[in-house]
Amino acid sequence: MSDDTYIQIGKLGGPYGVHGFLRLQSYADPVEQVLTYTLYTQPSAGAFTPFLLADSTAFNNGKLIVKPAGVETPEAARLLTGTILYMPRDELPSLASDQFYWHDLIGLSVINQQGQSLGVVDSVFNAGASDVLVVKSDTVERLLPYVPHVVLRVDMAAKQISVEWEV
């Protein structure tokens, strides 16, 4: 697989306990879904390398704790803190034509109804009530709620999002 066939699905946090476990920030919904995917890392921007888990625990509050294979101590776990986890894009379930994965929106240009560029989507996060697009230009960062009266159209072919938003 080429680099563009992998997507970020999580990030390892700090050590948890004394047996080599780490916290895992999952980008999946529900968060436990990350544990069902084939995971990879990309050390030093090199080739993608399989990342095997020896154990995992999901808590009721949506927190995940994982134990990478071969990691037995908090010192060894600490060396993995901040590691980005990837998965093959083709393992994602198919979506309806009007639905998008967050990573599909990153990099799209954002244009308002007056034809003004607001910048490009830098990231997406969930704020509880709705998802939020982080749109950055050279001078401004805007947070746009991903709701029908703001996000009017997503055109993947044109790599553009049309919004109702004043500059």
Domains 3-91 and 102-163 agree in fold: no
Decide if pLDDT at 2 tops 50.
no
Domain boundaries, the chain: 3-91, 102-163
Q: Would the pLDDT of 1 be above 50?
A: no
* Average model confidence (pLDDT) across the chain: 91
pLDDT at residue 101, rounded to an integer: 87
**In sequence order, which residues have a C-beta less than 8 Å from that of residue 83 and are 6 or more positions away?**
11, 12, 41
pLDDT at 108 over 50: yes
* pLDDT greater than 80 at residue 90: yes
In terms of C-beta density within 10 A (0-12 exposed, 13-18 middle, 19 or more buried), how is residue 138 classed?
exposed
* Closest-CA residue to 22 (of 59, 62, 73, 60): 73
- As a CATH number, domain 102-163 is 2.30.30.240
Q: What is the pLDDT of residues 23-41, one digit of tens each?
A: 999 988 888 999 999 999 9
Residue 131 has pLDDT above 50, yes or no: yes
Q: How many CB atoms lie within 10 A of CB 10?
A: 23
pTM > 0.85: no
Per-residue pLDDT, 110: 98
| CATH code 2.40.30.60 for 3-91 | yes
pLDDT at 60: 66
